[in-house]
C-alpha cells in the first residue's frame, strides 16, 4: 500500500504527487492475480482512465524526464523565496549568537559579583575581633592562643 499522501486542489480535485504515481504503478505492475488491479483501483478510488493515462505517460518516458527534472531542481536550483528565507535565518542566527555571548558575559559578571559579596559577608560576620595581643588581658590572650592553636 502506498504511504504517499494525496492532496486536493483549491477546487477540491484530487492532486496526485509524482511519488504517488510511481508507487502506484509499481504496485500495479506487481498485481498479477485475477482481480488484483481492480482491487488496487478500488483501494485508491481511481478510475481506469486515470491509471491508463499514467501508464501511457510512463511508456512515453515522461516519468523518467520528470524524475530527472525533479532531481536537478532539488539539487541545483534555489528559488528567490528560499534565498530570502536563508538570508533571514542567517540574520536570526547572528542575532542569537550575540544574545548567547551577552548571556555568557552576564553570567561571568554575576559569578564574580557573587564571589565578591560572599567574601564581604564572610568578613563582616567574623566574630573574632582583631585586638592586638599586646592589648589583651591575660585570660583573653590565653583564649586567643588556644583558638589560633599557637600554644
Q: What is the pLDDT of residues 19-65, one digit of tens each?
A: 788 888 888 888 888 988 899 889 888 889 988 988 888 888 777 77
**How many angstroms separate the CA atoms of 24 and 43, rounded?**
11
Q: Which residue has the cell 589583651?
A: 136
Taking only the tens place, the pLDDT of each residue in 101-124 is 999 999 999 999 999 988 887 776
Cα distance between residue 14 and residue 54, in whole Å: 15
Q: How far apart are CA 25 and CA 95, in angstroms?
A: 49
- pLDDT tens string 60-73: 877 777 766 666 66
Give the integer Cα–Cα distance in Å for 85 and 42.
42
Amino acid at each position: 500500500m502506498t504511504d504517499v499522501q494525496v492532496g486536493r486542489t483549491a477546487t477540491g480535485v484530487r492532486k496526485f504527487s509524482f511519488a504517488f504515481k510511481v508507487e502506484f504503478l509499481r504496485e500495479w505492475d506487481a498485481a498479477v492475480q485475477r482481480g488484483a488491479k481492480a482491487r488496487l483501483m478500488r483501494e485508491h478510488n481511481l478510475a481506469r482512465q486515470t491509471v491508463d493515462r499514467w501508464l501511457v505517460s510512463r511508456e512515453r518516458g515522461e516519468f523518467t524526464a520528470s524524475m530527472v527534472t525533479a532531481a536537478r531542481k532539488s539539487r541545483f536550483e534555489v528559488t528567490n523565496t528560499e534565498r530570502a528565507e536563508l538570508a533571514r535565518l542567517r540574520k536570526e542566527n547572528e542575532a542569537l549568537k550575540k544574545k548567547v555571548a551577552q548571556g555568557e558575559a552576564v553570567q561571568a559578571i554575576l559569578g564574580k559579583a557573587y564571589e565578591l559579596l560572599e567574601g564581604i559577608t564572610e568578613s563582616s560576620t567574623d566574630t573574632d575581633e582583631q585586638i592586638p595581643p599586646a592589648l589583651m588581658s591575660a585570660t583573653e590572650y590565653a583564649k586567643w592562643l588556644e583558638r589560633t592553636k599557637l600554644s
